[in-house]
Amino acid sequence: MAEKVDLSSGGEVLIIGGGISGITVALELARSGIPSTLIEREPSLGGLSASFCCKASESCNKCFACVVDKRISEIYQRQDISILTQTEVIGVKGNREKHQVSLKKGKEKIDLKVSAIVIAAGINPFDASQKVEYGYGRFKNVITAKDLDEMLRHRGTISRPSDGKLPKTVAFFQCVGSRDESIGNLYCSQVCCAYALRLIKAVRYQTPEVKATFLYMDIQPAGASFQEFLASCREDKGIRLIRSLPSKVYHSPLSDTLRVRFTDPERGEVVEDSFDLIVLSVGMVLSKEAKRLTELFRLSLTEDGFIASPPTQTGVFVTGACSGPKDIDRSILHAKSAAFLVQQHLSGRF
């Protein structure tokens, strides 16, 4: 769709990254009558959050995945946004109001003149295999929360990768790659507690025979109805919320079950439990692509390793999770505020 771009009307704004943040910026600018060009490295728009499933139980659990789907179909309907997929920025010149950007789409090279650039390059989920002790990549039944999410979106139910059977017991490990000095990520990814609890809720609603154990450090709230949501998780007899991060996962080759040692406050001691499936709540890290863009645009990183926002007069804006961990709700909000800044920047020229 909309692959042919008339470059004379390529718009005044280049948005790098076609995830929910980039999409929102483009849509908001279009609503204000500002045409833009949105580029995405992948063949389709949506980014990370487009692969999420609906995590409703009896009623909506406010995961915002459906909002992303709606925005994607909305953006394909707009005529004032040029969408270039499988496209990368390879060079940039100029500053403030005049930026000359070189793009590469396949073998084709495209030059673009724009007045503002928005970087919404997003994040990558933390590579869980770096936490060797959890066995991701070695044990089939250790998966990431994102893997589970995609499984639910496309197949509708939870199953064990090793034998396709319904797991009776599932453990969710929080803070994998977040709040962890040993890997140098001294920040909270802000979204994973609510994300994992919503996944648990959705799974338990669909298959109540699955019992979940949620192993965490501190539960981080998200949104205006989180308290009620958390209370409903606490009431659920099939969910154990335990403040204890496990140190290691042991694999039983015969049954493909996994043994985990953690502190059980109920029993008041260190226990060893076995689980059919382990889901790792992986945190957010800046993507390699975003790092490359940071260098290309000579931007700096924050202490936590995300892109720091440059002064607005540079005409370069950073939004979404690449500027610091954000859930879908906050990414949309942040993108709206970025769109406003872009609008102010453009009107300042006259």
Partner 1 sequence: MPQIGIFIDALQGSIPASFREKISDYVKKLPGIAFCIEEENLASSEALNRMGKRLEAGGLDGVVIMGGSPKLYEASFQKLRHPLPFNPYLFAVANIREQALWMMVEEEAALERAKTIISKTIRAVSNSKPIETQSLPLKPEVLILGGGVTGISIAQELAKSGLHIFLLEKGNHLGGKALELHKFYNRPLEVQKWMDEKISEVKNNPQITLFTHTELKRLDGHLGRFQAKIQGPDRTETVLSVSAIVVATGYAAKRETKGIYSHKRVTVFPEMEKLLSETKGPSLLWDGKKVEMVTYFLDGVNEDIKVDSINAVKQALLLQEAFQCQVAILCKDMKVAADGMERLYRKAREKGVLFFKYEEPPKLSIVNGQIQVDVRDTAAIQKKEQWPVSILSDLVVVGEAFVPAPETESLSGLLKIHLGNRGFLMEDNPQLLRVRSNRRGIFVAGACRFPQEVSESLIEARAAAQEVMALLSKGTYIYDLAVAEVDPKKCAVCYTCPRLCPHSAITVEKYGERNVYIISGTSQETKWGAAKVDPASCYGCGICVAECPAKAITLRHLTDEQIYAQMGLME
Partner 2 sequence: MSSFDPKIIAFCCDQSGYPAADMAGTLKLKLPRNIEIVRVPCAGRIETIYLLKALEKGADGVLVFACYEENCQFLRGNLRAKARLAYAHRMLEGIGLEKERVEICHLATNSGVKFVETLRRKSEQLKKMGPNPAKES
Q: Which residues bind partner 2 (CB under 8 A)?
A: 52-54, 56, 58-60, 62, 65-66, 69-70, 73, 153-156, 225
Contact 205, 164 (CB under 8 A): no
Nearest in space to 293 (alpha carbons), one of 23, 41, 35: 41
From candidates 79, 106, 237, 295, binder to partner 1 by CB under 8 A: 79
The residues near 268 (Cβ < 8 Å, ≥ 6 apart) are none
CB 126 within 8 A of CB 176: yes
Alpha-carbon span 160 to 141, nearest angstrom? 6
Query: Which listed residue (84, 193, 199, 322) binds partner 1 by CB under 8 A?
Result: 193
Closer Cβ to partner 2, 98 or 155, answer by number: 155
Check residue 226 for interaction with partner 1 (CB under 8 A).
Answer: yes
Task: Please say which residue, 73 or 300, places its beta carbon nearer to partner 1.
Answer: 73
Q: CB of 150: closest distance to partner 1 in angstroms? A: 20
How far is the CA of 223 from the CAs of 20, 68, 131, 191, 229, in angstroms? Answer: 18, 17, 30, 10, 10
Query: Checking DSSP bridges between strand 239-243 and strand 211-216, what pairing results, if any?
Result: parallel
**Of 230 and 245, which has the nearer Cβ to partner 2?**
230
The least CB distance from residue 315 to partner 1, in Å, is: 17
Report the alpha-carbon distance of residue 275 to residue 243 in Å, rounded: 17
Asked if 186 touches partner 1 (CB under 8 A), the answer is yes
β-bridge mates for residue 214, sequence order: 172, 241
By CB under 8 A, the residues from 263 to 292 that bind partner 1 are 263, 265, 267-270
What residue ranges bind partner 1 (CB under 8 A)?
A: 1, 4, 28, 31-33, 60, 62-64, 66-67, 70, 73, 76-79, 179, 181, 186-188, 190-191, 193, 218-228, 230, 243, 263, 265, 267-270, 302-304, 324-325, 329-330, 332-334, 336-337, 339-341, 343-344, 347
